[in-house]
């Protein structure tokens, strides 16, 4: 009896993409990120004490930050699954540890392999094409890291100059900058399709409702959980719309 030849379901380049040596090469990068996060948290805690903040307020801020990170982390985890399927586990782990933007990493990888006439997931992708994709992802994200490294320390000076020395304007400017950043990220999603629009709308309404409830009942823990909960509700709403109605535009 002749057995049919088995056709591999995984592209050949994925053997390199998930190799032991590539896993080992990504470990130092991830460790550096973890070290930076540890140093930053330690400095923030110590500086908060020097500014006169009580330990209770510091713990509340720390807990609020952890809770607020849950929503974005779920989105990054979902995107990481797609990235693992195309560029392998090690590179996906490294890239999303450093940058965390699937919206950038996937197009950058696609741009790299397209120079050799391939598309992500093609079985015939060569090692050179895969290496080019990884270089495109890495070098393409370098600009953000350089701006953060050399420009962050000057942001406070810029903010003070914008407020023209008026201390009452500084919180307003900071809030406006934060709202502008959120609006910038959402502007492209609102018109991307029905699930995206619904996700933004439901998440925004959930945030308003939770904050109103927290203010009317004076529930502190609800304020802390509001952002993370609203993001999770919006994410679930987008998934539900995608599964049920799809996209109408």
- What's the angle, vertex CA 220, arms to CA 216 and CA 221, rounded to 5? 120
Are residues 247 and 195 in contact, defined by beta-carbon separation less than 8 angstroms?
A: yes
pLDDT of 1 above 50: no
**Domain membership flag for residue 179:** no
Minimal CA–CA distance to 237: which of 205, 191, 211? 205
Residue 140: pLDDT band (50, 70, 90) is: confident
Are residues 113 and 125 in contact, defined by beta-carbon separation less than 8 angstroms?
A: yes
pLDDT of 159 above 80: no
Minimal CA–CA distance to 206: which of 225, 226, 191? 226
**Domain membership flag for residue 184:** no
Final residue of a structural domain among 78, 107, 140: 140
CA 207, CA 230: separation in Å to the nearest integer?
5
Final residue of a structural domain among 112, 140, 168: 140
Check whether residue 117 and residue 238 sit in a common domain. no
Check whether residue 109 and residue 44 sit in a common domain. yes
Check whether residue 41 and residue 115 sit in a common domain. yes
Check whether residue 136 and residue 228 sit in a common domain. no
- What's the angle, vertex CA 153, arms to CA 149 and CA 159, rounded to 5? 130
**Domain membership flag for residue 96:** yes
Check whether residue 63 and residue 127 sit in a common domain. yes
Better-scored residue on pLDDT, 44 or 169: 44
pLDDT of 17 above 80: yes
pLDDT of 218 above 70: yes
Whole-model pTM: value is: 0.60
Check whether residue 26 and residue 116 sit in a common domain. yes
Final residue of a structural domain among 76, 110, 140: 140
**Domain membership flag for residue 135:** yes
Are residues 174 and 159 in contact, defined by beta-carbon separation less than 8 angstroms?
A: yes
The per-residue pLDDT for 11 is 67
Q: Identify the domain containing residue 248 by its residue range.
A: 191-249
Query: Is residue 191 left, alpha or beta, with left meaning phi > 0 and alpha meaning psi from -120 to 50?
Result: alpha
Better-scored residue on pLDDT, 154 or 228: 154
103-132 pLDDT, tens digit per residue, is 678 888 888 888 998 887 777 888 899 999
CA 241, CA 109: separation in Å to the nearest integer?
28
The per-residue pLDDT for 125 is 85
Check whether residue 12 and residue 96 sit in a common domain. yes
| Domain count for the chain | 2
Check whether residue 40 and residue 130 sit in a common domain. yes
**Domain membership flag for residue 246:** yes
CA 184, CA 60: separation in Å to the nearest integer?
28
5 burial (CB, 10 Å; 0-12 / 13-18 / 19+) is exposed
CA 86, CA 96: separation in Å to the nearest integer?
14
Residue 42: pLDDT band (50, 70, 90) is: very high
Sequence length of the chain is: 249
CA 39, CA 20: separation in Å to the nearest integer?
29
Check whether residue 129 and residue 56 sit in a common domain. yes
**Domain membership flag for residue 161:** no
Residue 4 in tokens: 């049919």
Check whether residue 136 and residue 34 sit in a common domain. yes
């Amino acid at each position: 009896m002749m057995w049919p030849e088995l056709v591999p379901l995984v592209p050949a380049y994925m053997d390199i993409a998930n190799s032991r040596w590539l896993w080992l090469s990504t470990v130092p990068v991830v460790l550096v990120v973890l070290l930076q996060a540890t140093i930053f948290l330690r400095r923030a805690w110590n500086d908060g004490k020097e500014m006169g903040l009580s330990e209770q307020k510091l713990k509340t801020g720390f807990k609020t930050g952890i809770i607020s990170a849950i929503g974005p982390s779920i989105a990054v985890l979902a995107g990481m699954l797609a990235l693992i399927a195309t560029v392998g586990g090690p590179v996906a782990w490294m890239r999303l540890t450093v940058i965390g933007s699937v919206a950038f990493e996937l197009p950058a990888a696609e741009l790299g392999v397209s120079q050799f006439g391939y598309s992500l997931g093609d079985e015939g992708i060569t090692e050179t094409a895969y290496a080019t994709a990884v270089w495109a992802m890495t070098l393409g994200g370098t600009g953000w890291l350089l701006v953060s490294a050399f420009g962050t320390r000057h942001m406070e000076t810029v903010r003070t100059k914008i407020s023209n020395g008026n201390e009452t304007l500084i919180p307003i400017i900071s809030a406006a900058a934060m709202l502008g950043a959120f609006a910038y990220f959402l502007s492209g999603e609102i018109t991307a399709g029905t699930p995206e629009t619904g996700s933004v709308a439901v998440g925004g309404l959930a945030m308003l409702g939770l904050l109103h409830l927290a203010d009317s009942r004076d529930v502190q823990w609800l304020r802390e959980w509001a952002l993370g909960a609203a993001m999770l509700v919006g994410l679930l709403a987008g998934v539900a719309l995608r599964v049920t109605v799809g996209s109408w535009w």
